[in-house]
Structure 1
Amino acid sequence: MILDKFHKDFRLNGTSFSSVDEILGYTSSFSDEIHQFLTIWFSDQAWVVVKTSGSTGIPKEIKLEKRQMINSALATGNFFDIKENTTALLCLPTDYIAGKMMLIRALTLGWHLDVVKATSFPLRGIKKHYDFSAMVPLQLENSIKELHQIKTLIVGGGVVSVNLKDKIKDTTCAIFATYGMTETITHIAIKKLNNNSLSSVSVIKQPIYKEYYKTLPDVEIYIDSRGCLVIHAPKVSNEVVFTNDRVRLISDHQFEWLGRVDNVINSGGVKLHPEEIEEKLAKIIRNRFFVTGIPDEQLGEKLVLLIEQVDSCDISKFLKLEIAELKTLSKFEIPKEIYFVDKFIETKTKKIQRKKTLDLVNYSTKFKR
């Protein structure tokens, strides 16, 4: 694909185009963000500027080469065996990389792409069925009843909880978790999430296991001295990417994600890994939640639990008992305090901002163990 061209089968909201000018004219009528992005995309400029989500720090702008974005689109198409005339739904914000790449995949591979407003309930009111879509976990959670309308779904931008995995395990939609970041132009690895995706050999050509992420072709991985993932993917990044994600390598092309090294809590000399604790607590907590550390004079940091829910003394007492009886938790992994927050703070891409959410906590309304 030449950068000033597009696939002949490309459709946007049911409309076909014979020129770039037609695409730009059409998008100017319904989306300033998409129009501005495609104006840059079809320009002579060899790169685009993309914002990171800011879920783990201050959002920043980085330059991505257009040719590498096309390579990423082709890799997704090859991995999932998705060809021209695929019907796809874009329900993510287009000012971030995940939404932008849905557009580039459609332009490059010749998809028929429909664009809807990026909300927490992306399939509400939609009757049409689609071959492919991408969502964040919150959107997936709110689309359980409509998932039969999507044939293949990729989910990124956050961890899919144990409870959510249980809800989607038998849906007819083939659902895959993705691993990646803005610097790698979205995903460089895929993991199966439900039973349908386990047996859906017609959807995906690559043999992968449900428990682990498998890298896309032409991606090399290893770990650094911190136990964090290092990515060498020359087709989508000119530089080796050093992440803050703790992983366990299963093979040269498979890994298990363990959590963020910058989330680790040092409590009285014991290192606690929030993501591992959260997976255990997910068996008894239905609402959104996370654990984190707050300053403590004796321990340095103490483990606390934040739950997205209206405060209730009765719920607190009942939850305290359930946590105490949870055999998988060590004594160090039991939260010292529980806080309730009406609404977690999120990025525009629906990722929970842990530090900003913690700042909302009124420490006088806490429930102590």
Structure 2
Amino acid sequence: MYKPFIHPNFSIHGRAISFDDLTEVSYSLIKEGEDYEKQIGAFLLDWIDDSEIILVKTSGSTGKPKTIALQKEYMVNSALATGSYFNLKPNSTALLCLPASYIAGKMMLVRAMVLGLNIHFLPPSSYPLDGVTHSFDFGAMVPLQVGNSLSKLHQVHKLIIGGAPISNSIREELKGVDNSSYETYGMTETITHIAIKPLNNKEVKDAPFTVLPNVELTIDDRGCLVINAPKISDETVVTNDMVELLSKTQFKWLGRLDNVINSGGVKLHPEHIEKVISNYIDTSFFVAGVADDELGQKVVLVVEDAEVNDIRKIIEGIGEFKKFEKPKSILIAKEFQRTDSGKIQRSKTVEQILKP
């Protein structure tokens, strides 16, 4: 039977918190805290109860949101793997600026409790470091937060970034930031990240993802990644992520199988096309395939709240597209459909634009 473990060095905002303190701290956050602090308090209570599982919501970015059960023991194993990879020591400072209602925020709390970190809570806003003067040894952000915090990112010495694609412009900016930033690969089912990719190592261009300890990779007959990680999942995790597998521990991500566009018999990865376009436009966008009588599917560019003529001129001037990659048309959405955690729902957005 699983017994909750709280490291003797665990602290919140510098105040030492024992296992016996957690109930009082949790209730205080729930009763008196802001909404994001209430979520933290609720999770802490769940963590120290007698149940061996935690119920977690998936984001719903690639399908219908669902609730899944994660073993607390496996969440501890995930935290230990992250601590080992990033050499996190007791009393290291950790930044939580993600909502505790989703797995990424929950796991920052678990890492703090298991590894004995000194965790600091900040509101999960788009500008998390505004007005913050102190530094942190470790933190996690989504790309939107990173893009809005570039001038202050040196305050987070080791930063993991996930939850959404990272634009080329942010990747370039990160090369000039004096910290260690990493792109993560993972999902709720794998208890956040199982693989890491350095972002501001100027010596390594387009580095592959490297898995954390005790994770082994294969691919299936679709070319999609299969994850064997017995310390964090009872079952092999079969993904819809198409990859180039370099070894049992390294891979390059190509794109989602669900997103592949078959145009004139040529299979296109919209994520690759987006990477090209992101060098030229800053507005929110994505690439999708829509039905076409001649090609089967045609490539379209879907843009959020922008002037179509300006975007069309930019697209016409891009010379790096391969056959069939150049968008045939541009769709404008006043606002993208997004999940509660902020991820773009591509299919729903396109359906909303095209419906009569």
1:294 offset after TM fit, Å? 1.3
CA displacement 1:233-267 (0-9 Å, x = unmatched) = 00000000000000011112100000000101112
1:99 offset after TM fit, Å? 0.5
User: What's the counterpart of residue 335 of structure 1?
Assistant: 327
Q: Equivalents in 1 of 2:40, 2:311: separation in Å?
A: 46
1:362 offset after TM fit, Å? 6.4
Aligned length: 349
CA displacement 1:306-352 (0-9 Å, x = unmatched) = 12342253x134214313xx1x2123001000123343332232222
Unmatched 5+ stretches in structure 2: none
User: What's the counterpart of residue 73 of structure 2?
Assistant: 67
1:268 offset after TM fit, Å? 2.6
User: What's the counterpart of residue 184 of structure 1?
Assistant: 190
Tell me if the contact between 1:47 and 1:63 (Cα under 8 Å) persists in the aligned partners: yes
Q: RMSD value over aligned CA atoms?
A: 1.9
Q: Equivalents in 2 of 1:57, 1:288: separation in Å?
A: 21
Residue among 214, 230, 236 paired with 2:226: 230
1:115 offset after TM fit, Å? 1.1
Q: Equivalents in 2 of 1:209, 1:269: separation in Å?
A: 31
CA displacement 1:166-187 (0-9 Å, x = unmatched) = 1111100210001111111001
Tell me if the contact between 2:304 and 2:332 (Cα under 8 Å) persists in the aligned partners: yes
SS state at 2:344 partner? coil
Matches within 5 A, 1:213-224: 213-224=209-220
User: What's the counterpart of residue 253 of structure 2?
Assistant: 257
Q: 1:149 to 1:343 in 2, by over 3 A?
A: farther
Matches within 5 A, 1:77-226: 77-195=83-201, 211-226=207-222
Unmatched 5+ stretches in structure 1: 199-207, 365-369
Residue among 294, 301, 304 paired with 1:298: 294
SS state at 2:153 partner? helix
SS state at 1:113 partner? strand
User: What's the counterpart of residue 24 of structure 2?
Assistant: 22
1:81 offset after TM fit, Å? 0.3
Matches within 5 A, 1:233-252: 233-252=229-248
CA displacement 1:206-227 (0-9 Å, x = unmatched) = xx98510001111010000000
The one-letter amino acid paired with 2:8 is K
Q: Equivalents in 2 of 1:123, 1:56: separation in Å?
A: 30
Tell me if the contact between 2:94 and 2:139 (Cα under 8 Å) persists in the aligned partners: yes
SS state at 1:251 partner? coil
Q: Percent same amino acid among aligned pairs?
A: 48
Q: 1:345 to 1:256 in 2, by over 3 A?
A: same
Q: 1:68 to 1:221 in 2, by over 3 A?
A: same
Residue among 336, 343, 347 paired with 1:351: 343
Q: Equivalents in 2 of 1:225, 1:300: separation in Å?
A: 24
Q: Is 1:58 aligned to 2:56, yes or no? A: no
The one-letter amino acid paired with 1:24 is S
1:231 offset after TM fit, Å? 0.3
The one-letter amino acid paired with 2:323 is K
Matches within 5 A, 1:270-309: 270-309=266-305
Tell me if the contact between 2:312 and 2:330 (Cα under 8 Å) persists in the aligned partners: no
Pick which of 73-82 and 121-130 moved more: 121-130
The one-letter amino acid paired with 1:340 is I
Q: Equivalents in 2 of 1:309, 1:164: separation in Å?
A: 21
Tell me if the contact between 2:97 and 2:140 (Cα under 8 Å) persists in the aligned partners: yes
In the superposition, the TM-score normalised over structure 1's length comes to 0.89
Tell me if the contact between 2:140 and 2:160 (Cα under 8 Å) persists in the aligned partners: yes
Tell me if the contact between 2:241 and 2:255 (Cα under 8 Å) persists in the aligned partners: yes
Tell me if the contact between 2:7 and 2:114 (Cα under 8 Å) persists in the aligned partners: yes
User: What's the counterpart of residue 11 of structure 1?
Assistant: 11
Residue among 48, 51, 75 paired with 1:42: 48
Tell me if the contact between 2:283 and 2:306 (Cα under 8 Å) persists in the aligned partners: no
The one-letter amino acid paired with 1:321 is E
The one-letter amino acid paired with 1:308 is E
Q: Equivalents in 1 of 2:219, 2:78: separation in Å?
A: 23
